Amino acid sequence: MKLNKNPNLSTDSEKEVIIQKQINQLQKEISDWASKESNQPEEKKRILLRTNTETNSIYHTIVEKTEAKAVESKLKFISLTSQKLKRLSELEPNETTFQKQTFMLKKVLVYLDILYHISKRLFVISKSNLFGKQVELQSEVDSLIHEVDRIASQAEFNDMRLFAGDFAKDSRVASLWMIHQSKGELSRVWIATMTSKSLGLTTVEGNYLTLSNANLFQKNIEEAINRINEERQRIQSVLD
């Protein structure tokens, strides 16, 4: 995928513009497909979306019409992530050491913000009237939990994975140190693991939470929201 040269955009911004165009086109295709009457109720659609310009960053799935809303929900959050990253790349300088470390933490905050909104949507689903809609809503739950793990696997800065646990407090893989710009002090910064498993959205056996156990579902979602909020506040305090 070739990036068009635009002197007014950074390379990161150009990447997000490409992703946005793909998402807009795909959203229209899904909407048209889902609303079109068909004599084949089991008709399926192949979804292919490059969520990053890296070769392995492709979202690929086959969906039925009953899953269209779930895919649209996922695409909404992919689109929101792309918009926020584009804006960050355009507004935040990323050249000096101090600028790079600030940019990285603000990028972490972008992803945390998306995870927060996904969790809030999951909480709304848990409060929905499930009568006659449980299959459709569970499909959306599965899609959004998958999106949490997609973010955890692709959120990176300079090829460093941010949410996979490498920089967590108990990590033995790597450590992250930053220099305070005004004080000149060196301090360690932790970034918590933000996978669906660490947030309690996946069971010990590796299965996604289900709406069949509403109380457990709501409890785990509330805990995930609180944990994400705490991490947002902690990262923001490093920037303040």
CATH classification of the domain holding 172: 1.20.1330.10
66 and 97 co-located in one domain: no
pTM, to two decimals:
0.87
46 and 117 co-located in one domain: no
125 and 211 co-located in one domain: yes
Token couple for 11: 């390379």
Domain boundary among 75, 91, 107: 91
Tell me if residue 61 falls in helix, strand or coil: strand
Residue by residue, what is the 3-state secondary structure of 116-185?
A: HHHHHHHHHHHCCCCCCCHHHHHHHHHHHHHHHHHHHHHCEECCEECCCCCCCCCCCCCCEEEECCCCCC
β 186-189/176-179 pair status: antiparallel
| C-alpha torsion 143→144→150→155, nearest 10 | 160
Round to whole Å and give the CA distance between 187 and 203. 35
Q: Would you place residue 6 in the very low, low, confident or very high pLDDT band (cuts 50, 70, 90)?
A: very low
Tell me if residue 238 falls in helix, strand or coil: helix
Amino acid at 40: Q
| C-alpha torsion 146→149→151→153, nearest 10 | -130
**Structural domains in the chain (count):** 2
31 and 131 co-located in one domain: no
What's the whole-number mean pLDDT along residues 121-149? 90
102 and 185 co-located in one domain: yes
75 and 150 co-located in one domain: no
Domain boundary among 91, 116, 139: 91
Q: Would you place residue 43 in the very low, low, confident or very high pLDDT band (cuts 50, 70, 90)?
A: confident
End-to-end CA distance of the chain: give it in Å, rounded: 38
57 and 109 co-located in one domain: no
15 and 49 co-located in one domain: yes
- 197: which residues sit within 8 A by CB, 6+ positions away? 206
pLDDT of residue 38: 64
67 and 121 co-located in one domain: no
What's the whole-number mean pLDDT along residues 12-19? 84
Neighbouring CB atoms inside 10 A of 27's CB total: 15
64 and 103 co-located in one domain: no
For 152-210, what is each residue's pLDDT tens digit? 999 999 888 999 999 998 888 888 888 877 777 888 899 999 999 999 999 888 899 99
Token couple for 121: 């949507």
pLDDT of residue 180: 77
Residue at token pair 């090829």: 159
pLDDT of residue 73: 95
Round to whole Å and give the CA distance between 11 and 48. 23
Q: Would you place residue 41 in the very low, low, confident or very high pLDDT band (cuts 50, 70, 90)?
A: low
Which residue segment(s) compose the domain that 65 sits in?
1-91
Give CA separation, 153 vs 57, 146, 165, 166, 234, in Å: 10, 11, 10, 12, 21
Domain boundary among 74, 91, 108: 91
162 and 149 co-located in one domain: yes
Mean of pLDDT over the chain: 87
| C-alpha torsion 175→165→157→15, nearest 10 | 180
41 and 54 co-located in one domain: yes
